Structure 1
């Protein structure tokens, strides 16, 4: 699908390049109709850009269900790309995770959007990617009425076997568990 500039969110250029329908993007609306919380992720693969990730997801849009994962939006040090509409389901948190259900009463895939931030071996690029991701997250939280202080967990906070966005935080020189740093940056751009 063609990449189209849709807007600037807090000075970050945001493009739309939707994935084809398949296992990564099923086209089903969120069970809640609209996101009621957000999950902050990092890509888990150092030195890949938002475009690299969207291109990979596009090439592998219909992989077997048991290996499927996806996200709504990828952000790097230059741009953000929406690849699944924010009010559609994406597969960004395992269904057998219980914390999202305890905290929000629903599985993240059914009631939340997932933002994936890129990180780099170059600390300055990682810092810019973190800043851009927080700018985009602030715009999305504001648009959907999501309170980033208590409705925007990091993936590692709701799924114990995950280490993101700790990878991004570490690449920036911060503690892996320092979600307060992300909360404060998002608050700055709200």
Structure 2
């Protein structure tokens, strides 16, 4: 009887896990192929809690076509355990995604806590050369300098521009966004 109950519980658990994956259905536009992507993911290499291979497995499970691990260039969550290398999560993910039909795009997050706030840069060549001169301390905490110059805020954006990266705002619909927040890029 104990064995039968055990098998019944295992069977119920397997059935529950199988039904958790939902197919994302997004139609193609005529003449184009639609890709399912997540371009704002973190790992232990910044403020996430999982290894890059875990993000790859999540993406495959969720049937995504492309992801970018956009580690913060201005925050290190595990500086005592993980050497600072903003390309490393991409390298590990790219190796894990080999033969899995998943595109891995090198990216990084630039996120000063003042306008222009929270941005991602995709299609980078080297995330390690992006400066964050507006920071005072970024190891296990986020402390900006007391007096920040516009040039310091713009430095990471100019660095990714030299790499022909694509930059976009994270969370554009959030209530903290204001027209004045975009002026740094347009003035």
- Give the TM-score, by structure 1 length: 0.29
Compute the TM-score of the two structures, normalised by the length of structure 2.
Answer: 0.30
Greater relative CO (CA pairs within 8 A, separation 6+): 1
Choose 1 or 2 for highest CA Rg.
2
